[in-house]
Structure 1
Amino acid sequence: HADGVELIKGSIEDATVREDAVAGCDLVMHLASRVSVAESLAEPVRYHRVVAEGTREMLESAVDAGVGRLVLAGSCSVYGDASPPIAETFGTAPGSPYAEAKLVAESHCRAFAASGRIATVCPRFFNVYGPRQRADSPYAGVIPIFTAREARREVPVIFGDGLQTRDFIHVEDVVRGLMLAAMATDTGAGEAVNFGTGRGTNLVELAGLLCSMPPRFEAARDGEVRHSFADAGLAAALLGFEAEIDLPTGLASLGHRRES
């Protein structure tokens, strides 16, 4: 890891780990989570414990350490099957235990901010991708899975008809947005802010960009939304944040080569 960075391995469920991690800090970027919709359907209590209650406990530890601000990695999944472009003013309709736990985590952030204990802001990530994502993780997104299958000369698999859309945002854009959220001192009341590009790409199109073989289609999976891409206007207005990396450029950064 980078010079000047201390790596602490552990679980946010461990109070000692949390206390060690936040000691002497002015700001906490709370990115720890479990992130699989499918796994959350099988383990809903576990997801509530780690994602929702883990966030509350992280807030408590941050307050006890005198931290002034916490930025929570939220999720666009809280919107459910909304009609895009999806704005923060839309109602929430979480369709999985993962999404519900993320929404509860946001509620904890707003409650702590409202009580004056700590400033918080909650970027809602759309589909984040970037270099070194693992395809063999249970949390893997579709891009590393497609690239891994192409590298092995295997047919890409799409669940459903492939016309479902997602808003793919590069990790470099997300990091830049997080830094802006950390420094935006005129926010802090637990505001939810979309981190997306404002552009939707369906999975058939994505497979065409990454894979040389046509996809195989299998049954749609439970708990997954049909269409999802952001209205990114509030992030621009509140944080001065706009995604800069388009999908072809971002995919090129992965070092992946589509076979001819």
Structure 2
Amino acid sequence: MIEDNHYQRVREQLQARPERWLITGAAGFIGSNLVLALLQLGQSVTGIDNFLTGRRENLTQVAALAGAENWRNFRLLEGDIRIPSFCLAACRDADYVLHQAALGSVTRSLHEPQTCFQINVSGFINMLEAIRQTQVKKLVYASSSATYGDHAELPKRETASGNALSPYALSKQIDEQYARLYQRCYGLRSIGLRYFNVYGPRQDPSGAYAAVIPCFIEALRQGQAPIIFGDGETSRDFCFVENVVQANLLAAVCERADACDQIYNIAVGQRTPLRELHSLLAELLASHTARAIPLQAQFRDFRAGDVKHSHADISKAAQLLGYQPTHDLRRGLQQTVNWYLSNRQAA
């Protein structure tokens, strides 16, 4: 078992000996949080994004938070991972690649299955090929709890498998298989992180494919009842983005032979029904505003492609990577609510 202060020691080691990082999807929600964390540790960071789902204002905010001196260590390459030559050029000077770029919505993948495949599978293979041809030490890539599909057992353990329920879920299953194949055939070192319902600052609440927590916050802030798909008992293992940042950094620098070329659940290890999520967010927002906060939700039909329950066993990540979530749901939601109240204008 790795000691509790392992993450702090990793951060100190990086500050003492900066590395060169490439982050795909750098202008996205998770990508921009990774950019900020690495710049604050004095690292050299290259970000790539085609701004299909990434937002320039995310990087503007990161620049302000990182400070001018750290921001000089960031370089943005605007381009598309669907272009092999672009991927190769981007990887040439990187020590580590944190691959976050994806068409990340289950619902959107059902509407745009070809685009999902082109970005999530073909784009991922392009990155694998680019890394294979360069001097990158390790790839850490974003997988998803969606890979468990219709497998019903809880909590989810990495050895379980199920039938995919959406093009997005299938794309992530394929990515994991390709990563294993490139390890066997070419010795490419990689670690896959199965994210469970990540939330936090800079997650976009707008649009048809927005995630549940920013949607709930935005609706409640406007004095509107949030929409719950299903009966409200659908549950998720919500994971604050700083926990995800921790997992990426630990996975990248981990040198344990038995830890590399593995898949890990990244979550908190707690299951929260959507009814309870609504109540907690209503409580947190009520403490910040005089506006009436709706205490009842609107219920709609269960959405195709969604799983009923999601709950992670995170013991493997704890044992082999030293992963220890720093934010439970209440703490993470409080920071998220504070960010939305400070950065978005109410109507």
TM norm structure 2:
0.71
Offset at residue 93 of structure 1 (A): 2.4
Q: Distance in 1 between matches of 2:122 and 2:255?
A: 26
Residue matched to 1:146: 216
Other structure's SS at 1:85 match: coil
Residue matched to 1:218: 300
Indicate whether 1:11 and 2:11 are aligned. Answer: no
Q: In the alignment, is the contact (CA less than 8 A) between 2:83 and 2:123 conserved in 1? A: no
Aligned pair count reads 257
Residue matched to 2:270: 199
Counterparts of 1:100-249 in structure 2, within 5 Å, are 100-187=170-257, 190-211=261-282, 212-213=293-294, 214-249=296-331
Q: Which runs of 5+ in 2 are unaligned?
A: 1-62, 283-292, 342-347
Residue matched to 1:94: 164
Q: Which residue identity is paired with 1:248?
A: R
Q: Relative to structure 2, which stretch is displaced further, 136-145 or 67-76?
A: 136-145
Q: Among the aligned pairs, what percent are the same residue? A: 37
Residue matched to 1:46: 115
Q: In the alignment, is the contact (CA less than 8 A) between 1:35 and 1:139 conserved in 2? A: no
Q: Which residue identity is paired with 2:273?
A: N
Offset at residue 108 of structure 1 (A): 0.8
Offset at residue 185 of structure 1 (A): 1.9
Indicate whether 1:57 and 2:139 are aligned. Answer: no
Q: Relative to structure 2, which stretch is displaced further, 104-113 or 39-48?
A: 39-48
Which of the pair has more CA radius of gyration?
2
Q: In the alignment, is the contact (CA less than 8 A) between 1:114 and 1:189 conserved in 2? A: no
Higher relative contact order (CA 8 A, sep 6+): 1
Which has the larger share of helix?
A: 2
Offset at residue 189 of structure 1 (A): 5.1
Q: Deviation per CA, 1:88-147, whole angstroms, max 9, x where unpaired?
A: 111232211100000101111111111233101101000100112110144421000011
Q: Which runs of 5+ in 1 are unaligned?
A: none
Indicate whether 1:31 and 2:100 are aligned. Answer: yes
Q: Which residue identity is paired with 2:298?
A: R
Q: Distance in 1 between matches of 2:232 and 2:76?
A: 39
Q: Relative to structure 2, which stretch is displaced further, 154-163 or 209-218?
A: 209-218
Q: Distance in 1 between matches of 2:162 and 2:249?
A: 26
Q: Distance in 2 between matches of 1:21 and 1:152?
A: 42
Q: Distance in 2 between matches of 1:32 and 1:38?
A: 17
Offset at residue 16 of structure 1 (A): 3.6
